[in-house]
Amino acid sequence: MKVSVDADKCVAAGQCVLLAPKVFDQREEDGIVVLLDESPGAVLHDAVRQSAMVCPATAIHLAES
């Protein structure tokens, strides 16, 4: 799985950080998403998929391999 984020679309809801804190973080100054791991291990895939599904701005993009 490859993960990418579109920071320009992010609305700083923070759901991704709550669901997958090893993959996503937020910038201190404005809460915009920061991608920590673009190729997370299989154990994190379900949490990353859920993060993408609940993102209100559809700012998380997944490429399944």
What percentage of the chain reaches a pLDDT higher than 90?
97
Whole-number pLDDT of residue 65: 74
pLDDT at residue 36 above 90?
yes
Domain borders along the chain are 2-63
CATH topology assigned to domain 2-63: Alpha-Beta Plaits (3.30.70)
Mean pLDDT of 7-18: 98
What percentage of the chain reaches a pLDDT higher than 70?
100
**Higher-scoring residue by pLDDT: 4, 65:** 4
* Helix, strand, coil share (%) of the chain residues, nearest 5: 30, 20, 50
Residue that is written with structure tokens 């993060």 in the block: 51
